[in-house]
Amino acid sequence: MAFDDIFPYLGEFGRYQRRIYFLLCLTAIVSALHKLGGVFLQAKVDHRCQLPFENETATYQLPQGVINMSYPWDSEQQAWSSCRRLDANFSAEYFSSNIPANRSVRCDSWVYDHSIYKSSTIVEWDLVCDSAWLRATADSMFMLGDMIGSFGFGFLSDRYGRKPIFVIALVLQILGGILVSVSPQYIFFMIFRLVVGMTASGVFLIGYVIAMEMVGPSRRLFAGVACQFFFTFGYVLTALLAYLIPDWRMLQLAFTLPSVFFLSYWWFVPESTRWLLSNGRKEQAQQLIVKAAKVNKVKIPTDVLDGLLSEENEKPSSEKKPIPETKVTKPSILDIMRYPNLRKRCLNIFFNWFVNNSAYYGLSWNTSNLAGNQYLNFFISGAVEVPAYTFLLFTLNKWGRKSILCSCMLLGGVSLLAALAVPGEMTWLLVTFAMIGKMAVTASYGTIYIFTAEQFPTVVRNVALGASSTSARAGGMTAPFINLLAEFWQPLPLLVFGAMISVGGFLALLLPETLNRKLPDTLEEGEDFGKENEEDLEDVVKKTGSVIVIASK
């Protein structure tokens, strides 16, 4: 008897499961605060060169006549330069001449506009102009920590249990978050943010696994998508906290201190029953099942419970018989690459994870490059996730994974590319296109996880998901540097993200639909899975004259 066989008696999403599920989903809120809070911790602030005659109390605003005589015109940005000043003596005679100097020099200090952001790491450590790349590096380091944490804490939770590793990740998150808030230099800020990135991934993913391992098969789609609403709530809460707390150090503490509450989960959240059973701790598993049944007000027949536990008891005895000649090793990602059809599908999926993650975080962090109120832009960027996830709840099991993934990615790509044609004075339309693109990317990102799990055979499903997750986080590491392109041309990040997800949407047409289909178990079945789809697509290409180019590096 498998563990899933007990849900008809226990209930697939009873009162006990709902209570634990809700508590664990709360961790997604803090994860969002840390993952997206960098937009405000490292807020871009308008700046200009500090002129030789100005002191530290100088304000950002200057009379237009002084600006004309102090700064060169930046033809690329179509604005007065914020990184260079004219090389002049700035005497009264110079300003009265109305003839600006024809030579400029680089700035060595800056004056910042504090009308929107009172405090920022950018202001504190002058991370502008030639040092602007450091901001992108810090965000990329955070995503590197996210990658390390997802694998490191995932491995540890599989080996030592979900609950103790969850608490260890929480403690590290609290310590790392506090250290970020007191960082004396930017290098320490980056290092401690990397630690927070590791734990943000670890806490959320472990909590998600515990929650999902308690939910019955028919309710997992709802539970998996509904959890994202908590992340979205944390998203919009980030904007509210940033608006109310202008000091970046205090804001970082506000992101961190709620994690202290989650330490109490040691007494309220149980270990995963599935993990206990798979590791031979059957008495504890039985106690948890009985407790859950009591809270759900149901009774599990003794023979059903004994059957589950007795099957688990039989496993060790069979494992004691050494049969070296028939020892089976678990397939790896390299085994997938040996099969042509699986290999093409695998590379296709990796690319789509890469562009979805890059576009999702890139567009989330890019709100500071959009015109208008930056707090409002960020809030809307988070709020559009609500209709995106609601759409998935009602359509994923009706319309199919492939059609939703392709259509959402193409819609997102077209919206972002269309934003480039918007006249500069129509800022509201530019923001609208950017938000439609963000909503579409959110829906595609929510789809690809489920779609990927169904694409690969059972024997390599976990390792394939892990490799896909690595591709996603690599995409997240590139997103800050793509956003840095706005320093050269403001709409350029939208162009790059739009082109990437459009290509991904077309490539997704090559993937087979998985809805209501028997999923493959072996590598051989995985190789054959979807071949008829590929043949049908080739016929369509021949008839329409369309050309799809797959590039791999």
Is there a domain that residue 119 lies in?
A: no
Q: Which helix (H) or strand (E) holds 80?
A: strand 79-80
More confident residue, 51 or 490: 51
The chain-wide mean pLDDT, for the chain, equals 83
pLDDT at 537 over 50: no
More confident residue, 343 or 552: 343
Q: Are 442 and 545 in contact (CB under 8 A)?
A: no
Verify that 33 and 2 share a domain, yes or no. yes
Is there a domain that residue 170 lies in?
A: yes
Verify that 33 and 85 share a domain, yes or no. no
| Signed CA dihedral, 269, 270, 273, 279: sign only | positive
Would you state the pLDDT for residue 330?
A: 63
**Residue of 4, 417, 376 whose CA lies nearest to 218:** 4
Listed residues 113, 141, 166: the one ending a domain: 113
What secondary structure does DSSP assign to 442-510, as a single string? HHHHHHHHHHHHHHS-GGGHHHHHHHHHHHHHHHHHHHHHHHGGGGT-TTHHHHHHHHHHHHHHHHGGG
Verify that 300 and 395 share a domain, yes or no. no
Mean pLDDT of 288-299: 86
pLDDT at 534 over 60: no
Is there a domain that residue 20 lies in?
A: yes
Q: Which amino acid is at 244?
A: L
Q: What is the pLDDT of residues 186-197, one digit of tens each?
A: 999 999 999 999
Instruction: Give the chain's count of helices (H) and strands (E).
Output: 26, 6
Q: Which residues of 203-233 are buried (b: 16+ CB within 10 A; e: fewer)?
A: bbbbbbbbbbebbbeebeeebbbebbbbbbb
Verify that 146 and 206 share a domain, yes or no. yes
Q: Which backbone phi and psi does 204 adopt, to 5 degrees? A: -65, -45
Which range (305-314, 379-388, 492-501, 540-549) has the least confidence? 540-549
Q: What is the pLDDT of residues 20-45, one digit of tens each?
A: 999 999 999 999 999 999 999 999 88
Would you state the pLDDT for residue 329?
A: 59
Burial classification of residue 8, based on how many CB atoms lie within 10 Å of its CB (0-12 exposed, 13-18 middle, 19 or more buried): exposed
Q: Which amino acid is at 189?
A: F
Q: What is the pLDDT of residues 378-393, one digit of tens each?
A: 999 999 999 999 998 8
Verify that 384 and 454 share a domain, yes or no. yes
Verify that 264 and 198 share a domain, yes or no. yes
Helix, strand, or coil (residue 157): helix
CATH assignment at residue 349: 1.20.1250.20
Listed residues 280, 299, 323: the one ending a domain: 323
- Work out the angle between the directed axes of helices 374-383 and 340-365 (0-180°, nearest 10): 140
Mean pLDDT of 145-156: 85
Is there a domain that residue 229 lies in?
A: yes
Q: Are 190 and 136 in contact (CB under 8 A)?
A: no
More confident residue, 307 or 81: 81
Q: Work out how many domains the chain is built from and give that number.
A: 3
Would you state the pLDDT for residue 336?
A: 77
Is there a domain that residue 370 lies in?
A: yes
Listed residues 291, 306, 323: the one ending a domain: 323
Verify that 228 and 332 share a domain, yes or no. no
Verify that 141 and 108 share a domain, yes or no. no
Would you state the pLDDT for residue 301?
A: 80
Would you state the pLDDT for residue 315?
A: 45
Is there a domain that residue 300 lies in?
A: yes
| CA atoms of 524 and 531, how far apart (whole Å) | 12
Would you state the pLDDT for residue 319?
A: 43
Verify that 177 and 196 share a domain, yes or no. yes
| CA atoms of 213 and 405, how far apart (whole Å) | 26
Percent of the chain past pLDDT 90, that is, above it, reads 35
Question: CA distances (Å), 282 to each of 136, 208, 287, 289, in order?
Answer: 49, 23, 9, 10
Q: Which amino acid is at 270?
A: P
Mean pLDDT of 414-424: 83
Helix, strand, or coil (residue 69): helix
Which range (205-209, 244-248, 520-524, 533-537) has the least confidence? 533-537
Verify that 317 and 359 share a domain, yes or no. no
Verify that 78 and 190 share a domain, yes or no. no
Full residue range of the structural domain in which residue 433 is found: 328-553
Would you state the pLDDT for residue 326?
A: 44
More confident residue, 235 or 539: 235
Is there a domain that residue 118 lies in?
A: no
Would you state the pLDDT for residue 331?
A: 67
Verify that 30 and 61 share a domain, yes or no. no
Is there a domain that residue 125 lies in?
A: no
Question: CA distances (Å), 426 to each of 370, 419, 430, 431, 433, in order?
Answer: 12, 10, 7, 9, 11
**Residue of 123, 113, 117 whose CA lies nearest to 61:** 113
